[in-house]
Amino acid sequence: MAVAASSSVIPASLRQGAALLHQIIEHMPAQRFTLVEGWWDTSGDFAAYPNVSYVSRTYDMTPLYTGHRLLLVPSTVGDAFPRVVIEAGLHGLASLGTDRGGIPEAIGGGGLLLSGDAGATAWAAAIEAAPDSEMGKRAREHAARFTRPCLPELQAAGVIPS
């Protein structure tokens, strides 16, 4: 599942940080979050929060990436390499994630990293402090390094720089 606060998007599954996500949402009642269904339908787990919107699985994440200010990756496990960070970065959306697994490599200079042990207070402070437009620009530049140059239609559409 991806979570996007009306300023953020977050991938979260029951195994990958849902407990932390509950804590962050509870800690920030004025912050809007958008959760996007992933491998499991966890809509019922987050239905009680008035500051959470839930979006069914979609193949076109563009409106979500362009309509939010930050992708949250509160994973508590060592994700190999979360592709969602690259997808968001290609849309100029910075990420905030943990220092676990391949998340640091995926985020690079296009976002901020927190310790995998960071609690809701640290996440709330980082969400409130980030991002700026330069971070989104760095996210796009970093993500472009992971794309194949043989996709001219993405360059023509402005998704990756020429």
Q: Fold for 2-156, please state it.
A: Rossmann fold (3.40.50)
Tell me, what's the pLDDT at 2? 44
Global pTM?
A: 0.81
- Identify the band that residue 27 occupies on the pLDDT scale cut at 50, 70 and 90: very high
**Mean of pLDDT values over 85-107:** 94
Q: What is the pLDDT of residue 15?
A: 53
Please list, residue by residue across 143-159, b when 16 or more beta carbons sit within 10 angstroms of its beta carbon and e when fewer do: bbebeeeeeeebeeeeb
- 35 φ/ψ sector (left φ>0, alpha ψ -120 to 50, else beta): beta
The whole-number pLDDT of residue 49 equals: 95
Q: What is the pLDDT of residue 151?
A: 67
Look at residue 150 in the predicted model and tell me its pLDDT. 59
Question: DSSP string covering 39-69, please?
Answer: SS--HHHHTT-TTEEEE---S--HHHHHT-S
Question: Which tokens hold the place of 29?
Answer: 């009642």
Burial of 120 (0-12, 13-18, 19+ CB in 10 A): middle
pLDDT digits (tens, 9 = 90+) for 37-48: 777 777 788 889
Among residues 117, 121, 84, 80, the alpha carbon closest in space to that of 98 is found at 117
Taking 3-state DSSP, the helix, strand and coil percentages for the chain, each rounded to the nearest 5, stand at 35, 15, 45
Domain ranges of the chain: 2-156
